[in-house]
Amino acid sequence: MVEFKVVLSDAKTGRAYNINVSGGVAGAIIGKRIGDEMDAGPFGLPGYRMEITGASDRNGTPAKRNLPLAGRRKLLLSGGVGFRPKMDGQRRRKSIRGNEITSDFVQINAKVTGYGDKPLEEYFAKPAPEEAKV
């Protein structure tokens, strides 16, 4: 069974929310690509829309938006996603995943593009702590 952690960022409030997704809802994400926009209703957020902005697999290998494949590749990078050079002109060969979401991913990053009726704080509200009994 496929499980994902979806990190949903809200630009209006500057907050990010974790959604644990498994089963059929997670299956709806498989096959999508970074940059695709989708309905957030299956995640329990009716009326909301979200755009996939990034992802990483179980080893922490990031996915690159402009790499059109489903697996891993070793690329010579000079900056950007997956490598930050310490010196000018530095390059390094690093493992990078393609932009297609597969079952190997663990974390999916997304941002809100369309808002529903209720604010996100209501969906992700923590239960009020019970008062201590004397």
Residue extents of the structural domains in the chain: 3-66+101-123
Contact in structure between 72 and 3 (CB atoms under 8 Å): no
- 3-66+101-123 CATH fold: Ubiquitin-like (UB roll) (3.10.20)
Taking only the tens place, the pLDDT of each residue in 2-44 is 899 999 999 999 999 999 999 888 888 999 999 999 999 999 8
Q: Provide the mean pLDDT of the chain.
A: 90
Q: How far is CA 6 from the centre of its chain?
A: 5
The b-or-e profile of 71-94 (16+ CB within 10 A means b, else e) is ebeebebeeebbbeeeeeeeeeee
What is residue 132's predicted lDDT score, i.e. its pLDDT?
63
User: pTM for this structure?
Assistant: 0.85
pLDDT in tens, 64-87: 999 998 889 999 999 988 899 999
